Structure 1
Amino acid sequence: MSSDLITLSAVAAVRMIRDGRLTASDLLQAYLDRIASRDPTVRAFAHFDPTQARAAAAATKPGPLQGLPVGVKDVLDTADMPSQYGSPIWANHRPKADSAPVAWAGAAGAIVIGKTVTTEFATRKPGPTTNPVNPAHTPGGSSSGSAAGVAAGMFPLAYGTQTAGSVIRPAAYCGVVGYKPSYGLINRNGMKIMSDSLDTVGVIARGAADCALFAAAVSGRDLGDPETKPATPPRIGICQSPAWDLAAPETQALLARVTQALGRAGGQVSQRELPAHFNQLVDAHPIIMNNESARALGWELARHPDQISEGLRERLAFGLDQPPSALQHAYQVFETTQRGFPDAIEGLDVLVTPSAPGEAPKGLEWTGDPAFNLIWTSLHVPCVTVPAGSGPNGLPLGIQIVGRQGDDRAVLAWARWVEAAIA
């Protein structure tokens, strides 16, 4: 049955297409059927044209992503679809060229199935997307449509971007896998940049192996064979992180439960907290993020301030109000902690830490707190969230695997190991 096709992993589906056991058009049709039944509630798309998607599937080219539908967050430019950045200022905007992530996905044989909903400029006012597990709750943000669409079975792969927690948190809230690579691993040319020091293109899928397949294909990096399992268990540091005071009871119980499961699976598990000076990132991150975002939106602030949401205008004003001394100190904190992180996890392969404070909050006006993400984004290190059960309201919980900058291949491999250990 065609409905069974959407349960295939991306790794399995592309293998079947290459072997001639499945066509790109048949795979796409299964996803189009799913979209027809689920998207009226989930509302993952900012732009969707099934006729355009079918034409792309019929013309798909060989490659590592051959025939795989991909949702593209609407802060990444597309030449043949609107790129509106979640803002009325850019309604119906049509760029001349694809962004680099979109271009390289196409070169690898992927099919852009549509543009997915983002919060306003990937930072503030939420769009209409709902959590596919419970539509009364947020899917998280800012990669709202990408995470919800993958979780609802509307496409197997999606692009997200992260400045604070915009890949990891929505993936965790929706019960899928999110991978925020090392800063700069996926080229972001053609992205609507907000914070040059932080913005990172990431990917969302149903499994860590699919994330590895996707990211390797579009980055040209060696991220390992997505189907190869590590030969030995990892050395894991359980890290509550400076955000632990915000952990809901379900998250506190989750970390304890995961710690036990990793130990039973053979992991060398120990407690490891970051040195005290890393706590300065909690204050440094919003200073840098909001100042750089305000500078990035100079044209919008000058020409269309009334079309920027009140909440975003407040954060941009906060950023612009920072004195030079505060900015200089914040950048120094970034530099010092980024340089010192390898020493902070000496003797470990990865840290394991919560992906979010708890379950997805109720309502659609707030996408949740990125407190358990912004430190790792500031450090430019790779992070992967994998599903780890559910909370008291039946909504998904995630656990986050964090490693050294540039060690993405190993972090993805350990994420697959953690997936199996806690399943």
Structure 2
Amino acid sequence: MKTELRSPLRDLVEQLAAGSTTPTEVAEAALARIAELDPRIRAWAHLDPDAVRSAAARIQDRGAGGVLWGVPVGVKDLIDVACMPTRCGSELTSAEPAAADADCVARVRALGALPAGKTVTTEFGYFKPGPTRNPRAVDHTPGGSSSGSAAAVAAGMVPLAFGTQTAGSLTRPASFCGVAGFVTAHGSFSTDGITGLSPSLDSLGLLARTVSDLHFAWTALRDGAPAPTLEPSAPRRLRLWSGFELGEVSTEMTAALRKTAATAEASGVSCREVDAAATVVALTEHHHSVMAYEAARERSAEAARPEKISAPLAELFGAGAQTSEADYAGALAGIREMRQRLLSALDEDEAILGPAALGAAPRGHDATGTPVLSRPWQAMGLPVVTIPGKRDSAGLPLGLQLIGRPGAEQRLFETAVWLESVL
């Protein structure tokens, strides 16, 4: 049978386990797709086809074992993969291969997966774009900073990819490229082996074609075991967030949110507006203060080479250098207080639904869009699912983000897959 990388991840895993396809056949299908599309999409920063074939053959020779056995995975080029360079979208980094896998890569490798290569990131996960194009419309940005991972999944090159998020680095590319994204709750997975900007904000994430695929991969990472079939389940209540206080949300994105809410209400879900304008504005400001302060210190070696970094990154480091320790501590305290207040009012059977970006992917490649609609939730370290399915009048994807409680991710996924089914 022909190996189809765009079939559900569970189906691919079951086909591999049953012998209907093999790790080497899956690898060849991925490499063929990459050879066909990547000259135009440019999702990959490092990919060695011969190394992929050799790794697939070794996995196959060892025999079936692990819930992700034989599945090729893209890895954002901020994340170490043994024997591959980690360039972080910058000329400042070494071309020498990493000595060891990042913790998340070691986990999927232990589950039988094949880390296929490194996907393009913006410079150190900030604003300077890489060469990646949006598979849905190549003259539009794929978003950033997990540009290559989102594009590789959207183009059907791999069924699963790692990303990261410090501000809006995963949610926005998922929305722009029309795929599902999951930002894990801060601290729920190790970031060892990941080049970050802000330890208080950096989170691991996943990109896949659908919410069900995300859930399957997340459960495998968490438990090392196959996930039960994800059953759609309407929540008791959705809190609707327009995002208007942070930016000019497009009319079509707003309409997508309203239509989804109307469908939910018709199914008996209670929907009401979030009245938290002052809170999300303050969280956004606190987020920037924390990110700048920590980035200037976390990446001090790069900050000392302003001639080798982009102007936006230099400005971030400069802002961080000017942020006092008292202001930094105050921002962290403000985030903690607002997080506690939100979580005390949000139970496990409700979630916040809002736009994942201001609108569809902007035309051009000189910028990646703004992360402003992700900053409040990333500041609080909450789990976020980006749900694909909507389109604007030009056919460009529009994603919605669903924000939930840390520790209630299973319920968040049940709600997300239900919303995906109605989108």
Residue 252 of structure 1 deviates from its aligned partner by 1.4
Relative distance call for 1:46 and 1:231 in structure 2 (3 A) is: closer
- Per-residue CA deviations over 1:171-204 (Å, capped at 9, x if unaligned) read 0100000000111222110001210100000000
The residue that corresponds to 2:302 in the other structure is 300
Relative distance call for 1:63 and 1:347 in structure 2 (3 A) is: closer
Deviates more, 1:402-411 or 1:153-162: 402-411
* Whole-angstrom CA distance in 2 between matches of 1:31 and 1:215: 21
Is the 8 Å Cα contact of residues 67 and 110 (structure 1) preserved in structure 2? yes
Deviates more, 1:264-273 or 1:336-345: 264-273
* Whole-angstrom CA distance in 2 between matches of 1:245 and 1:195: 24
The aligned runs of 1:177-196 (5 Å cut-off) are 177-196=180-199
Residue 355 of structure 1 deviates from its aligned partner by 0.4
Is the 8 Å Cα contact of residues 46 and 116 (structure 1) preserved in structure 2? yes
The residue that corresponds to 1:354 in the other structure is 355
Structure 2 residue 151 is matched with structure 1 residue 152: no
* Whole-angstrom CA distance in 2 between matches of 1:75 and 1:291: 20
Residue 391 of structure 1 deviates from its aligned partner by 1.4
Partner SS state of residue 27, structure 1: helix
The aligned runs of 1:13-412 (5 Å cut-off) are 13-60=12-59, 62-220=65-223, 225-230=227-232, 233-241=235-243, 243=245, 245-274=247-276, 276-302=278-304, 304-346=305-347, 349-412=350-413
Residue 381 of structure 1 deviates from its aligned partner by 0.8
Is the 8 Å Cα contact of residues 275 and 344 (structure 1) preserved in structure 2? no
* Whole-angstrom CA distance in 2 between matches of 1:343 and 1:175: 33
Partner SS state of residue 59, structure 1: helix
Is the 8 Å Cα contact of residues 284 and 379 (structure 2) preserved in structure 1? no
Q: What is the CA RMSD across the aligned residues, in angstroms?
A: 1.9
Relative distance call for 1:278 and 1:362 in structure 2 (3 A) is: closer
- Per-residue CA deviations over 1:311-343 (Å, capped at 9, x if unaligned) read 211111011111233222211111111211213
Residue 123 of structure 1 deviates from its aligned partner by 1.1
Is the 8 Å Cα contact of residues 139 and 170 (structure 1) preserved in structure 2? yes
How many residues matched? 419
Is the 8 Å Cα contact of residues 195 and 289 (structure 1) preserved in structure 2? yes
Relative distance call for 1:275 and 1:248 in structure 2 (3 A) is: closer
One-letter amino acid matched to 1:49? D
* Whole-angstrom CA distance in 2 between matches of 1:399 and 1:257: 12
Relative distance call for 1:314 and 1:276 in structure 2 (3 A) is: closer
Partner SS state of residue 376, structure 1: helix
- Per-residue CA deviations over 1:287-317 (Å, capped at 9, x if unaligned) read 1111111101112233x33211122111110
* Whole-angstrom CA distance in 1 between matches of 2:71 and 2:407: 27
Residue 275 of structure 1 deviates from its aligned partner by 6.7
Partner SS state of residue 367, structure 1: coil
* Whole-angstrom CA distance in 2 between matches of 1:236 and 1:317: 40
Is the 8 Å Cα contact of residues 86 and 97 (structure 2) preserved in structure 1? yes
One-letter amino acid matched to 2:265? G
Residue 63 of structure 1 deviates from its aligned partner by 0.6
TM normalised by structure 1 equals 0.94
Is the 8 Å Cα contact of residues 10 and 213 (structure 2) preserved in structure 1? yes
Relative distance call for 1:269 and 1:386 in structure 2 (3 A) is: same
Partner SS state of residue 89, structure 1: coil
* Whole-angstrom CA distance in 2 between matches of 1:359 and 1:334: 29
One-letter amino acid matched to 2:137? N
Is the 8 Å Cα contact of residues 234 and 414 (structure 1) preserved in structure 2? no
TM normalised by structure 2 equals 0.94
Deviates more, 1:63-72 or 1:382-391: 382-391
One-letter amino acid matched to 2:312? G
One-letter amino acid matched to 2:288? P
* Whole-angstrom CA distance in 2 between matches of 1:30 and 1:111: 13
Is the 8 Å Cα contact of residues 6 and 209 (structure 2) preserved in structure 1? no
Deviates more, 1:18-27 or 1:274-283: 274-283
* Whole-angstrom CA distance in 1 between matches of 2:37 and 2:45: 15
* Whole-angstrom CA distance in 1 between matches of 2:328 and 2:128: 25
Relative distance call for 1:301 and 1:232 in structure 2 (3 A) is: closer
Is the 8 Å Cα contact of residues 212 and 230 (structure 2) preserved in structure 1? no
- Per-residue CA deviations over 1:120-162 (Å, capped at 9, x if unaligned) read 0011211000000111111000000000110001000000000
* Whole-angstrom CA distance in 2 between matches of 1:407 and 1:346: 9
| Aligned-pair identity (%) | 37
Structure 2 gap ranges (5+): none
Structure 1 gap ranges (5+): none
* Whole-angstrom CA distance in 1 between matches of 2:176 and 2:198: 24
One-letter amino acid matched to 1:338? R
* Whole-angstrom CA distance in 1 between matches of 2:111 and 2:50: 21
Relative distance call for 1:245 and 1:96 in structure 2 (3 A) is: closer
Deviates more, 1:26-35 or 1:357-366: 26-35
Deviates more, 1:402-411 or 1:191-200: 402-411
* Whole-angstrom CA distance in 1 between matches of 2:228 and 2:51: 30
Partner SS state of residue 88, structure 1: coil
Is the 8 Å Cα contact of residues 171 and 177 (structure 1) preserved in structure 2? yes
